[in-house]
């Protein structure tokens, strides 16, 4: 299984490299960023020991398509995608918050709700809801961006402003952009027979002070999707929703006694299981984009990426 789980490139005028949970970001001359989407899989803020074939390509290509489909609403950092696993864009100073927006009571919000909480990140959640019900209107529930190995933490708008993490003027822009992107993302999802349940956006500032969308957008790693067909019937019967996200990996880990807690060991993922995860990601790609997935040449991924990036940087 040829996957890319770690890179150590040395591009011309390279200043530094930042390694996140899934992406590795190369700073070129304090001007450009070369972002490599690896095949690493992260769940419960833990990176799994084995890579998932084609996952990096899938995330990179969905994010690219979604940036192009929203650039009329919100400016973004992207300049080019010289390789199936690579995006190149403007160097930005990232805001230290993730803008999470939720249209439905699912995932983390549902777990908090079940525990009896009716406030999430300073936002009230109505009484009488059940898991996967639609909120009267989408709610923004920000999270602080954790360093590698730490967990992202919920934070309220009030605390973000009080602690000076983001200025009020900038935060108003982040909220406005978040709502616009979620609205467009929901429309795109609906056209594919899907529901965009919740997602997160990350933003940064360019050198000239412009706020832009960075990182990924509307991918199965950053978003949760339901199939629209039969959604209401499943809700009425109290059944689980059919999901398009990496939730299936989380559920498999939970069933194998792993939730990223202290003392827990990541269960062994067999090659057969990894193949099924790869197949699910391809299914996600085709459902989200409405296009057939074309597998890139993976005979030597590192060499391919290096060759394509060097050709672009010239």
Listed in order, strand segments (DSSP E) in 181-246 are 194-205, 211-214, 223-227, 243-244
pLDDT of residue 245: 78
pLDDT over threshold 90, residue 152: no
Cα 112 from chain centroid (whole Å): 21
Whole-number percent of the chain with pLDDT over 90: 88
- Helices vs. strands in the chain: H and E counts, helices first: 8, 18
Angle (CA) 87-308-280 rounded to 5° is: 55
User: In the numeric block, which tokens belong to residue 100?
Assistant: 């999470």
Q: Residues 133, 105: contact at Cβ < 8 Å?
A: yes
d(CA 116, CA 110): 10
Digit-coded pLDDT (tens) for 4-15: 999 999 999 999
pTM of the shown model:
0.91
Digit-coded pLDDT (tens) for 75-88: 999 999 999 999 99
Digit-coded pLDDT (tens) for 251-261: 899 999 999 89
Listed in order, strand segments (DSSP E) in the chain are 14-19, 23-28, 32-37, 42-43, 46-47, 78-83, 86-90, 93-94, 97-104, 119-120, 123-124, 134-140, 143-144, 153-154, 194-205, 211-214, 223-227, 243-244
pLDDT of residue 21: 87
pLDDT over threshold 60, residue 174: yes
What value does the mean pLDDT take over residues 133-146?
A: 94
Total number of residues shown for the chain: 314
Q: Residues 253, 267: contact at Cβ < 8 Å?
A: yes
Digit-coded pLDDT (tens) for 102-125: 999 999 999 999 999 999 999 999
Nearest to 214 by CA among 83, 79, 92: 92
pLDDT over threshold 60, residue 148: no
């Amino acid at each position: 299984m040829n996957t890319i789980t770690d890179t150590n490139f040395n591009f011309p005028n390279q200043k530094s490299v930042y390694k996140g949970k899934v992406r590795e970001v190369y700073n070129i001359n304090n001007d450009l960023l070369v972002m490599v989407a690896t095949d690493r899989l992260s769940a419960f803020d833990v990176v799994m020991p084995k890579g998932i074939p084609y996952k990096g390509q899938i995330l990179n290509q969905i994010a690219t398509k979604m940036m192009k489909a929203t650039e009329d609403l919100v400016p973004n950092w992207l300049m080019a995608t010289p390789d199936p696993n690579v995006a190149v864009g403007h160097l930005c100073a990232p805001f230290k918050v993730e803008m999470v927006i939720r249209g439905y009571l699912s995932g983390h919000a549902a777990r908090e709700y079940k525990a009896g909480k009716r406030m999430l990140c300073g936002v009230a959640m109505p009484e009488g809801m059940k898991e996967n019900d639609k909120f009267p209107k989408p709610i923004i529930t920000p999270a602080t961006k954790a360093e590698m190995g730490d967990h992202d933490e919920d934070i309220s708008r009030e605390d973000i402003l009080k602690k000076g993490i983001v200025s009020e003027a900038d935060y108003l822009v982040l909220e406005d952009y978040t709502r616009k992107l979620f609205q467009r993302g929901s429309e795109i999802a609906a056209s594919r027979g899907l529901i965009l349940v919740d997602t997160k956006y990350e933003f940064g500032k360019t050198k000239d002070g412009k706020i832009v969308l960075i990182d990924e957008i509307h991918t199965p790693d950053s978003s949760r999707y339901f199939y629209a067909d039969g959604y209401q019937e499943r809700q009425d019967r109290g059944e689980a929703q059919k999901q398009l996200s990496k939730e299936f990996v989380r559920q498999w880990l939970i069933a194998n006694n792993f939730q990223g807690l202290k003392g827990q060991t990541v269960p062994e993922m067999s090659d057969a299981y990894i193949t099924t995860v790869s197949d699910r990601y391809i299914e996600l790609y085709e459902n989200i984009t409405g296009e057939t997935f074309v597998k890139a040449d993976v005979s030597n991924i590192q060499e391919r990426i290096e060759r394509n990036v060097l050709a672009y940087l010239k």
